[in-house]
Structure 1
Amino acid sequence: MFFRHFLGEQAQLNVRLADFRQAPEARADLILVDAGQAQTEELSDLIDQLDERAPLALVNIVPQQAEELLDKHPGIRGVFYSHATREHLLKGIGMLLAGGDWLPRLLMERLLGQLRRMRRLAESKATLTLREREILTLAGKGLSNAEIAERLSLSPHTIKSHIHNLLRKIGASNRAEAAYLLRSRLDWDECRA
């Protein structure tokens, strides 16, 4: 009811309320989903139904839940945390109606960081040699340098050198981080044993 009163009267918007569990049937210029008492899975199911209909924003949501939903649904255009002010809400809705996005600064920084890491990893996949990928795959399985050297019939010093080079190429601080990042972000089928 707050949205109907506040947005309808204050912002001169035509506001329709719909049950949370039902996708709206009428065309909308913007869909605001009140996430206040909803579970993340319920919200995700609803967003699956709404994708591509209109710009979608989550309102009255906590940061962790917003992060989880944005990871799964990158098409979400706006996020308003539960402590957002009326002015903040109006300004954000205006931006969304104008075709923009409205995300809290920390969330935007997190998403940009992910994009940068993914780009760097995608570029590094092409620059890693087959041998470096093979070594990193084995290191990711928990093998020591000596065990990798024995399996590949190389010296431990050669393994250490390869690991040093691949860490530099992908910008990881250690081999566990490198294996995790590359395994979670890229398709490594061509180097699996």
Structure 2
Amino acid sequence: MNNLTCFKAYDIRGRLGEELNEDIAWRIGRAYGEYLKPKTIVLGGDVRLTSEALKMALAKGLQDAGVDVLDIGMSGTEEIYFATFHLGVDGGIEVTASHNPMDYNGMKLVREGARPISGDTGLRDVQRLAEAGNFPPVNEAARGSYRQISLRDAYIDHLLGYISVNNLTPLKLVVNSGNGAAGPVI
């Protein structure tokens, strides 16, 4: 298989169609599952129009590797960190291209404890497996499950735990989430 140029030093980012598509997302999911061997992970995606399709392809790759997938829906990367730690699962992946233009998308990967996976902590290994594409046949009996869940209320409660709401009463605030995934939280 050819080199996957969407793998960067700390995450995955690429131009849609050329560097990142649903097939590559499936391969990344399968490689993540084969390399880290997690039992359960959380998935989320930002507001980009392509995030949902990439997230579902990623979920299928993970499931084919025997991983149970908990989909928290539209989310920011910080919600994946929270969900991974809060639920005590084995990892998480956020589909996002962060600040990149709209013709890009990407992924941020974490392992248990919400520890980021970067080039020297497993990302190169996931890349190597995804590029090779030599995965064992799918064992239907061991295929992972898929479930949609909501942690938004728990996440908001967690955030509010950092402040004293009573101290904010004289404060007037205007917030514009800029069409970002944090909009529903704010």
TM over 0.5: no
Report the TM-score when normalising by structure 1.
Answer: 0.27
Higher helix proportion (structure 1 or 2): 1
- When Rg is computed on C-alpha atoms for both structures, the one with the higher figure is 1
Higher strand proportion (structure 1 or 2): 2
Identify the structure with bigger relative contact order (alpha carbons < 8 Å, sequence gap 6+).
Answer: 2
Report the TM-score when normalising by structure 2.
Answer: 0.28
